[in-house]
Homo-oligomer: A and B are copies of this chain.
Amino acid sequence: MFNEPLELDMDEPQNIAILGLGLMGASLSLGLKRRGYAGRIYGYARREETRTAALEGGIADQVFSDPSEAVREADIIVICVPIWTIATLAEQIVPALKPGAIVTDVGSTKSELLKTMEPLFENSDAHFVGSHPIAGSEKTGIEAGDPDLYQGRLTVVCPSDGAPMISSLWKSVGSEVVEMSPEQHDAMLASTSHLPHMVAAALVRSVADGDPAKKADFCGTGFKDTTRVASGSADMWVDIIDTNRAALEAELDRFHEELQGLIQILREGNGNDIRNWLEAAATDRNQVLKLNQFLKK
């Protein structure tokens, strides 16, 4: 795996700046380095202890407290922070970018972000390419960095100038890449990722009911797994939900129909109705997992 040829330029390797050294950023750097990437990796982190940890952990060759300093020598810039902070950082770095530099991100929604980016990059010689690696963990922070986080996973890249280079970047850490418009992406992920997150959080709120001690001992592995993602980074998820509201409301409506169907069965249905309802779910889940090419690892 580590010997597979990188598709980035090996003779004259690009220098990469990673802005934000949490789970996603640290994992990207570790993934590149573990696979022998020879370009320099510049890191930006807001907190000094993160910058120190990045140097000590070999996650960045050089660290900066100023994002525009971090990008000055970089050919590729990957912004790994919550969505609205991507916009803030982009505004700061655009004037410092090398001509031809390509900026990308790892945000879980794309439409609103790309709308925000357009005017910023319009009069610049640099390009912005939206990407979203569908990989993650409820763990956060630089210490959660995992060189194989992207291995075997799917990354969505939005078509635009510079997209082939960014596709090549994600492939070099083991990801497969699909091109998709921002709108298509956001509608798809609203269902497959954002809805499960909201449902998990609503489930915790409902079970805990303002007093988590009351029922804690009776929560089993079912509760634990069903709600795992609800412990994920609020910083990241606030912006995801904030920038995908219409699609999320549509998904919540669709989900509510399913619950209403079940309530109807509880009121008037028999055992067979319950069985059919449950079996369709089990069959569909098994099909999803069987057909999914990126959850095998």
A87 at the interface (CB under 8 A from B): no
A136 partner, pick from B203, B222, B266, B274, beta carbons under 8 A: B222
CB neighbours of A225 from chain B (8 A) = 225-226, 228-229
Q: Is A239 positioned at the interface, with any CB of B under 8 Å from its CB? A: yes
Taking CB atoms and an 8 Å cut-off, the chain A residues in 166-215 that contact chain B are 178, 188-189, 191-193, 195-209, 212-213, 215
Say yes or no: A271 contacts B224, CB within 8 Å: no
Q: Which residue of B lies closest to A254 (CB)?
A: B206
Query: How far is the CB of A87 from the nearest CB of chain B, in Å?
Result: 13
The reply on A88 being an interface residue by CB < 8 A is no
Tally of contact residues, A, Cβ under 8 A: 90
With beta carbons under 8 angstroms apart, the residue of B192, B198, B207, B263 that contacts A219 is: B192
- Asked if A125 is an interface residue, CB under 8 A from chain B, the answer is no
A55 at the interface (CB under 8 A from B): no
Determine if B213 and A291 form an interchain contact, defined as CB atoms under 8 angstroms apart: yes
In this assembly, does A53 line the interface, its C-beta being within 8 Å of a C-beta of chain B? no
Q: How far is the CA of A258 from the CA of B259 in the complex (A)?
A: 13
- A220: Cβ under 8 A from any B Cβ: yes
The yes or no answer to A255 lying at the interface (CB within 8 A) is: yes
